[in-house]
Amino acid sequence: MLIIGIAGGTGCGKTTVVNQILNELPEGEVGVISQDSYYMDTTHLSYEERVKINFDHPRSIDFKLLEKHLKALRKNQAIEQPVYSFVKHNRTGDTIKTLPRKVMIVEGILIMSHPEIREMFDIKIFVHADSDERLIRRLKRDITERGRDINEVLTRYQTTLKPMHQQFIEPMKEYADIIIPNNKYNTVAVDIVKTIINEKLQ
């Protein structure tokens, strides 16, 4: 099994890169795990308390469960990936059965900040995008998909998103095997990744 880690700041275009890779590879040979599924269970907290959590700090991620699941997949065992609700700021209680594949892609803003998880990646990719571009994408997504208002998004960006990006995400570039600029010129980088994956699959 080949495990690929794809990191980068919020709104940098990780999902776009993941989809570009998926579209070029044989169907059924690639699985995807999202860091977003592994936010800590906050059932014991009220909604008001959950809203105050800094979800951009590594402490908000259940890395132990993610590590356990990646090890199980490596042993060819299926896992039950948690389902997370951004509207409720909590896990829903449902899970998605995820089967082991030849290639597993793990994507998320903080996945390279945890040494044990980082060492499990055979290929480490960092998607880079301009900070203004990332903020615009985050605004659009949080307002249309997650029911936030503009003041809430901007306040969170200034108080947690930006400082957490500078502290925990941007420094992870140094661990990346490949840095992909998220613009119309990223096709070469994505082609290199696909070539590496295809070689490993053969």
* pLDDT values of the chain reduced to their tens digit, one per residue, 202 residues: 999 999 998 877 788 888 888 888 888 888 999 999 999 999 999 988 998 888 889 999 999 999 999 999 999 999 999 999 988 889 999 999 999 999 999 999 999 999 999 999 999 999 987 777 777 777 787 787 777 778 877 887 778 888 888 899 999 999 999 988 876 556 788 888 888 888 877 7
Domains along the chain?
A: 2-201 (3.40.50.300)
- CA 47 from chain centre, in angstroms, equals 24
- Alpha-carbon Rg for the chain in angstroms: 17
Pairing, β 30-34 against β 103-107: parallel
Distance of alpha carbon 33 from alpha carbon 72, whole angstroms? 13
Residue type (1 letter), 90: N
Are the beta carbons of 149 and 94 closer than 8 angstroms? no
Predicted structure pTM score: 0.86
